[in-house]
Amino acid sequence: MKGFGRFNLIALICSKYSAVFNAISLFFSMVQNYKVYVNNKEVIFRNRSTKPPTGTTMLLPIMPTSNQFDRIIHDFEHDTNQLSFEFICANPMEMFLKFAESYHKVYAAGGLVCSSEGDMLWIFRNGKWDLPKGKRQRNEKFSTCALREVEEETGLRNLKITNELPQTLHTYMENGKRILKRTFWFEMHADKTQTLTPQTEEGITKVKWIAKSDINRVRRNTYRSIINLLEDYLKENK
């Protein structure tokens, strides 16, 4: 599996996997786009009929074991030449669930906050521009979680949710555990004249309104999942 070189590696997989755990299925209920960001790189699960494969092709006739999946993802994660990996299979959902088995699942929510002037609110956390978000508390509604987290991380008040945005999935390590976080995003509106207060205990050093005309400064130094969310939003709100 090593030595992917400069090609996009695509795995063709004929899925025969059917035993999925109820808890995992619930975690991924209503997910429509099977895309997860691993080490800030895209892993996509799609049906073979959606488009023809490109680049280097790998055919796996059966569903990989969890250990095989781990090795595939590990090699991809550490290959600096690879920015995307596609699993093409008969049932993308089942393949996605198999991939997710070895991760601890976490829910979160956050907001893309806009002002009446059309500016967007960004935080600068751990050396990158990001959107305010955080983990959901037990039995908390996702919309409530998003509002609470934006308030805590930016100091804004009187936020109003105006729309629901696409969800994102990304992985990371925390206390030796492999985490798969599913984040629910909401478009929000707030008054730009309020005082902004970064939540420094969460590693946030700046909170700043940035005009759409200056958004390239964010694109150059943020996460690919955030870029994907931003581009979708800008496409819908030209």
Alpha-carbon distances of 55 from 41, 59, 85, rounded to whole Å: 17, 13, 11
User: Distance between CA 101 and CA 81 in Å, rounded?
Assistant: 27
| Residue whose entry in the numeric block shows the structure tokens 């899925």 | 15
Q: How is the chain split into domains, by residue range? A: 9-100, 105-236
**pTM of this structure:** 0.82
**Beta partners for residue 85, in sequence order:** 9, 43
Which pLDDT value is given to residue 220? Answer: 95
Say what the pLDDT of residue 51 is: 59
- The mean pLDDT values, 10 residues at a time, for the chain of 238 residues are 39 39 47 77 75 48 75 84 78 83 93 96 97 96 98 97 95 91 97 96 96 94 95 89
- What's residue 14's pLDDT? 37
* Domain 105-236 grouped into CATH 3.90.79.10: yes
What distance in Å separates the CA atoms of residue 122 and residue 196, rounded to the nearest whole number?
11
For residue 9, the model assigns a pLDDT of 41
pLDDT of residue 213: 92
d(C-alpha 77, C-alpha 175), whole Å: 19
Among 36, 199, 13, smallest CA distance to 124 is for 199
User: What is the model's pLDDT at position 27?
Assistant: 52
Which residues, other chains included, contact 167 with Cβ-Cβ below 8 Å and sequence gap of 6+? Answer: 31, 182, 183, 184, 185
